[in-house]
Structure 1
């Protein structure tokens, strides 16, 4: 089964747009909240910084692998396309079933709800408006993306710049609060002994905060000169994210200390309020609202391309496989994903779904990177415009380390990991049921 032809999408994204998608797809709400969870599972500021550095380096290794995969197959759909070509349609469907139908819309619902909370809080309006604001944000994002990738890219670039400015403000505030006592950042918190399993398990929320770097590969069919642009944008964008994440955690530790970070519910707001009072907390709430809104825009755009590819392959509704010839946007797939995200937002069922699919997401990355070995074996003589350095070491490090983190997480939280595997397994009868139904209709 073939997807839409390569020219169904228009290549309108330049290197700047692509790098902004990488940064915007990774930086959402996680860096403003997750550091507290990481601190709770560590006993010193040094351990916190080590975890964020390890997560960043590991993600960079994965990004370099995705750069080669994207350069080899610059098509919409990303991991779904790689899995389909290397391992067949069923494994690709299981990834799409888990991600495009559950994780993508679930993450949009979760993040847009945080957007609404911070948006209403910054404006000082009642919490009664949070749900309408969240639904309105999804409708607005889908509406902009219906006009094509350029319209979505303009909006995304603006919000990515705003979220980077918010992170820069946090870093400045943390340094100002340190008062020259930066050595306290690395101090040990003797009141919080942590087991080695908890420390290893703390890498999963770090990886979750680094997640989203694959969205650019979902949009690879719309990148200009993809063999050059994809590796450059992925590398530039991810290096920028790692620098931002390590610096902002350093700022949290400098301003709040390890104990303060571990007990904080909203470390970004606490840091700004400590220095600037209530006005500081309001400013960072606006920054978080911009960050979460920008993430939702990328997740909807990327997820819709996966749905479109699945529809074109005949493993989802055929109508979603269409690309509008005028706007070059997968309008029906965008509408379906947006509507499903709204349903999850209104129902409030997204938090558990995200817990259940986080393991599945990173398993998808493990097998996605694993396709690189298949491509190297079966296309050994094909000219590759970009090759991941230190092959096969970097992909092996990524695959083995991430798989180890998944195992540690499963030991730490077996219920969530088990449900994740169950959701993936449920995709098998759905796939064969869909195939049977499609043949009967034909």
Structure 2
């Protein structure tokens, strides 16, 4: 009798899954990005409209991911959908860009941000930021080596803490507003804004809503996935949209539109205005919790993509193994963590992330596009969940996000060109890897 390779265990319930969605989306963006959006708008009303539009567009994408996850509840997310719908090459190019560059790059960037905010909160000099960031990555990888339940415990704790920080921020803004939002929502005559600038302000909004796909990367470990995935994605993302709109209302109420547009750190400025220096320290601790929680999800999700690629022979075969006792992709976790540490110490992560942004969003476009393939080729298959208003919602998401990609490429052609070059370099790597795998099989 031959031993069957270990597989993932379905240990995540609806609460765990919803916390992954919330934790994967809410990082540091909502504490910083609203100022960028305000600088490209002419009134507080426009700010709130942009965050509402971004939320609705993201919810459209989330509903599409809910059907994809319910149809293929396996580890690997977009990689799996692309592999089945369009073949190994597109799937490899996505994995090449995301699992080898974007995931570890985002972990390095956010871990560094976590370390800086933690140092600010506890009064450590910033020269300790790099070792603290490395320590955070080592700790998160170490916890996840023991399996998804251990990782979920850390994740749930820090997601609750980041929601508490946002709640405190909202309360502070409402107190400062004292029921008067007229000035905050009125038009700022000193800041005339063109329609192009208004449309461009949607870019940072959508980027702040990104990260909802991590649950699909972990779908192989979700209990009753056909029911749990749609519920968790809908509940989690709906909660994020409410939090984001309320947070922006708080910024506008406490700082006003002009004050928000002039701020470099709106969350700290808002808290300091009400509570003094101690308020800024408290929100720094809250942002540290938020960024730490994001790193935990990115490491767990990225490792599952690497593991799936390894099992397909598209990465080192050892990375495709799942530990029989913990049911964790331990080698993939160690590989991702080690590479994230290298990027952290090198300081090159910000440039890499800029280079792979277009690739990440192209992955979302083609990932959602696989839904049309599934609907065509599995038309008679029972589907426990179907995205409403099909094909309108997926079309709106695909067209809008593609428009965002084009606008981003026009705005930063160098970064977009490097992103496309990185994707193109994956083509010879793919064929070279297939050739080596063929040689091993002989």
Q: Same fold (TM over 0.5)?
A: yes
Q: Indicate yes or no: 2:410 matched with 1:434.
A: no
After superposition, the C-alpha distances for 1:126-168 in whole angstroms (9 at most, x for unaligned) are: 1121111000000000000000000000110000000000000
**C-alpha separation in 1, matches of 2:41 and 2:99:** 33
What secondary structure is seen at the aligned counterpart in 1 of 2:109? helix
After superposition, the C-alpha distances for 1:157-206 in whole angstroms (9 at most, x for unaligned) are: 00000000000000000111112321122122222223333322221211
What secondary structure is seen at the aligned counterpart in 2 of 1:418? helix
**C-alpha separation in 2, matches of 1:376 and 1:212:** 25
Is 1:12–1:222's contact at 8 Å kept on the other side of the alignment? yes
**C-alpha separation in 1, matches of 2:406 and 2:174:** 37
Is 2:6–2:327's contact at 8 Å kept on the other side of the alignment? no
**C-alpha separation in 1, matches of 2:109 and 2:187:** 34
Is 2:299–2:333's contact at 8 Å kept on the other side of the alignment? yes
Is 2:5–2:322's contact at 8 Å kept on the other side of the alignment? no
Aligned to 1:221: 220
After superposition, the C-alpha distances for 1:196-243 in whole angstroms (9 at most, x for unaligned) are: 333222212111111110000000000000000000000000000000
Aligned to 1:72: 71
Q: Indicate yes or no: 2:270 matched with 1:265.
A: no
What secondary structure is seen at the aligned counterpart in 1 of 2:264? coil
Q: How much is the aligned-residue C-alpha RMSD, in angstroms?
A: 1.2
Give how far 1:280 is off.
Answer: 0.6
**C-alpha separation in 1, matches of 2:369 and 2:122:** 47
Aligned to 1:19: 18
Q: Indicate yes or no: 2:28 matched with 1:29.
A: yes
Is 1:37–1:262's contact at 8 Å kept on the other side of the alignment? yes
After superposition, the C-alpha distances for 1:236-288 in whole angstroms (9 at most, x for unaligned) are: 00000000001001111111111211221111011000100011111111110
Unaligned residue ranges in structure 1 (runs of 5+): none
Question: Residues 15-414 of structure 1 correspond to what in structure 2 (within 5 A)?
Answer: 15-414=14-413
**C-alpha separation in 2, matches of 1:118 and 1:110:** 13
Give how far 1:7 is off.
Answer: 6.5
Q: TM-score, normalization: structure 2?
A: 0.97
**C-alpha separation in 1, matches of 2:413 and 2:249:** 32
Deviates more, 1:281-290 or 1:251-260: 251-260
Q: TM-score, normalization: structure 1?
A: 0.97
Is 1:142–1:334's contact at 8 Å kept on the other side of the alignment? yes
Unaligned residue ranges in structure 2 (runs of 5+): none
**C-alpha separation in 2, matches of 1:392 and 1:253:** 37
**C-alpha separation in 2, matches of 1:354 and 1:40:** 23
Deviates more, 1:374-383 or 1:410-419: 410-419
**C-alpha separation in 1, matches of 2:41 and 2:435:** 51
**C-alpha separation in 2, matches of 1:303 and 1:157:** 18
Give how far 1:384 is off.
Answer: 0.3
**C-alpha separation in 2, matches of 1:437 and 1:201:** 45
**C-alpha separation in 2, matches of 1:174 and 1:437:** 59
Count matched residues.
438
